[in-house]
Structure 1
Amino acid sequence: WQQMVGDQTGDDVFSGQDTGAQNSQEYIWCSYCSEKLPKFNIKKVVLHCKTCVSMVRLGDQYRFVCLMCSYITINSEHFKRHVRKHTGDKPFKCKFCNFRSSRKDTTVQHVRIKHGSDEFEVLL
């Protein structure tokens, strides 16, 4: 079971434009314990969300609790993808243009639709 709030990436697959607001701050704060974390260090943010003792968890299997909203999951990859929505991190880049996305599958879809290519190599 997963709970998702505000599942918006801010990416426009067709235009390659970022439609979401980018926050220029370099840090994010845990809403449970107020710890300051580096915004673009996804590993550190995920580790904090997995281990923060101030977070209320539904059970042992729900290891990942978002530090900024009510999203919870048992899957680390889903959680990383979710956290990028808050941080604005877009590590996946189109090799044909300047399009970037927080999700690999969105970038692959962009390459196929925008560039008519079946080359699904996505740069990090």
Structure 2
Amino acid sequence: MQFFFLSLKHQYSLISDVPTCSYCCSVLMRNAEFLMNHGQTCLAMNRPSRMYRYMCYTCDYHSYSNHTLLRHVRIHLGEKPFKCSHCDYFSSTVSNIKRHMLIRHNM
């Protein structure tokens, strides 16, 4: 298995203050649920297959699952809603919190 780590500069370049659909050029609300809905309903998006119901509003990411799209959209928004109960670490996924607690707090 190969891991790909983005540089901090590249990670922050993915975060947008004003989300804009790169397919229909609409300015969108900075809300993960709204962005997921737009990715499901935008008619300008060229879907690789009809099976891909969920597409990212700004890049070519697509998924069968709304859960994986939500995790992906949080990268663009810079959202990290999950917090470690033992320190000030925040993450966009629960699995990262669990891994953090195992590595940093031996839990």
User: What TM-score comes out, normalization by structure 1 length?
Assistant: 0.72
Over aligned residue pairs, what C-alpha RMSD do you find?
2.3
Shift of 1:66: 1.2
- How many residue pairs align between the two structures? 102
Which residue of structure 1 lines up, in the alignment, with residue 55 of structure 2?
65
The 3-state SS of whatever aligns with 1:29 is coil
Q: Which has the higher helix share?
A: 2
Which residue of structure 1 lines up, in the alignment, with residue 21 of structure 2?
30
User: What TM-score comes out, normalization by structure 2 length?
Assistant: 0.82
Which residue of structure 1 lines up, in the alignment, with residue 65 of structure 2?
75
Which residue of structure 2 lines up, in the alignment, with residue 49 of structure 1?
39
Greater relative contact order (CA < 8 Å, ≥ 6 in sequence): 1
Structure 2 alignment gaps of length 5 or more: none
Q: Percent identity?
A: 33
Tell me whether 1:116 sits opposite 2:99 in the alignment: no
Tell me whether 1:99 sits opposite 2:86 in the alignment: no
Shift of 1:51: 0.4
The 3-state SS of whatever aligns with 2:28 is strand
